Amino acid sequence: MRLGLMVVPLAFFALFFAWPVASIVERGLRPDGVWRFGRLGETLTRPEILDVLWFTLWQALASTALTLLIALPGAYVFARFEFPGKGLLRAVVTVPFVMPTVMVGTAFLALVGRGGLLDELWGVRLDTTVWAILLAHVFFNYAVVVRTVGGLWSQLDPRQEEAARVLGASRFTAWRTVTLPALAPAVAAAALMVFLFTAASFAVVQILGGPTYSTLETEIYRQTVDRFDLTTAAVLTLVQFVAVGVVLAVHARTVRRRETALKLVAPEQTARRPKGLGQRALFGGVLISIALLLVLPLAVLVERSFDTPDGYGLDYYRALQSVDPSGTFLVPLVDTIGNSLRYALVATALALVIGGLAAAALTRRAGRLVRGFDALLMLPLGVSAVTVGFGFLITLDEPPFDLRGSWILVPLAQALVGVPFVVRTMLPVLRAVDERLREAAAVLGASPLRAWREVDLPLVRRAVLIAAGFAFAVSLGEFGATVFIARPDSPTLPVAVARLLGRPGALNYGQAMALSTILMVVCAVSLLLLERLRAGRTASGEF
């Protein structure tokens, strides 16, 4: 049954991921029909390429450590504390993650760059420094830790830790020996996703780092688009494959040894009002960090969308309703909202089907085949979206897969990024389900399908909802691949924003800010609805 569940995800990844990426590599290393592997060494020994590799590695490690340091207290607060506006605040925390990365860089540029808020108030500038990049990465990935770790934390039975304290363990010892091992798979999964995102950082580094800093992603884009040097782009893509494979192998070996059946309870049973000075101080510190790191950049972004040359007003929003006279956009920019929502809904459906089948196939531990399948599902998070998007254009152009003129191409690209989130969200919960429950269902005569429907599904329903929210969110904000394949008559919000930012003039900049504000509102409303839906259900499995 496990191999049967793998068929659809494997076919999807082979057709829409492996084939496009392999085509780029082939064109770069086999330009005249003969493989030239000697170019690997030539490219990787160039000093500028070595600098790019080193910066990509250490900034990703630093970003991951800083994100965990700042976000883990937030994960605890959302998991264990009950307070007014919790659902709204959870949606606000998630909004930065779904923003296009180009807008994350722009928001921080407006905050810490020349003429930004900090420059105007205190003369402080952080643009073209690594600190701006690291803080922007925390801004972008905070929700990954809160959702992934906090979801499991909220369902761990606190009585297990209380029992350890009754036996004489201190609060820290009980947490270290009972709670931390149970959280380890979720923390490792969150760290893995943050590392892959920051290692493949593109727009944030390009906007905030300037010409001083470059990651593998920005270098692949520059070599592909600016220089059309497919050889260098192909070599760097292979480096990404190897690096991501090593990370996934280490992660799988570490987490696989520590995953056990957990006693999960409903989150409503674990959340309490903060009590005592320590808990209130922690709660206040988390709120302050959210306000400074997450809300302030968004507030600056909104303020710029209303700040017109004639004073504060709605001029930039009204301009979205007119057709661009330059011909860059063939439809009013306001139509991009509907385009993005339609694409994201289709991409979410695809990601849930493919990711759900994959997670079910990976539920029980198995040999190298299943572990390799697990690693394959994570590759889109660490491989250049530029490579994937460009690969779509050069591969899906002949029957029976001539899709370059079809609207479905955009949701397919977005689903590639959504599937890993569905898998990583559902898999820890599926593996935490006590195997004896499935065995009991089988003894009573239930088929494997019915056992999954009666045992697994009720326990992971909440995880499915969170997975759907993540898939929808990342689809709305996907930019790297979509910018290559979105048609001029149906651009998405991130593509429209990037094109506006690339054009001079206050009107274009203001329209970009207005579109970004609309995107934030759409995401916030969608996530708030999801929070209400989650609150109305009783299940175990929240990530």
Which of helix, strand or coil describes residue 312?
Answer: strand
Contacts (Cβ under 8 Å, ≥6 apart) of 247: 192, 195, 196, 382
Task: Kindly provide the residue ranges of all beta strands, DSSP E only, lying in 71-145, ordered along the sequence.
Answer: none
pLDDT of 1: 52
Cα atoms found within 13 Å of the Cα of residue 435, Cβ hemisphere only:
7
At residue 169, φ and ψ (nearest 5 deg) are -75, 145
Using one digit for the tens of pLDDT, what is the confidence trace for 219-245?
888 887 777 788 888 888 888 878 877
Structure tokens at 348: 């979410």
Q: Within its chain, how far is the Cα of 101 from the centroid?
A: 10
Instruction: Specify burial of residue 69 (Cβ count, 10 A radius: 0-12, 13-18, 19+).
Output: exposed
In whole angstroms, give the CA distance from residue 296 to residue 302.
10
Using one digit for the tens of pLDDT, what is the confidence trace for 478-506?
877 887 788 777 888 888 887 887 777 88
More confident residue, 298 or 429: 298
- Mean pLDDT along residues 106-117: 77
- Mean pLDDT along residues 438-463: 73
Structure tokens at 500: 């506006």
Using one digit for the tens of pLDDT, what is the confidence trace for 528-542?
676 665 555 433 334
DSSP code, position 293: I
Overall size of the chain counted in residues: 543
pLDDT of 66: 95
- pTM for the predicted model, two decimal places: 0.77
Pairing mode, if any, of strands 307-308 and 311-312? Answer: antiparallel
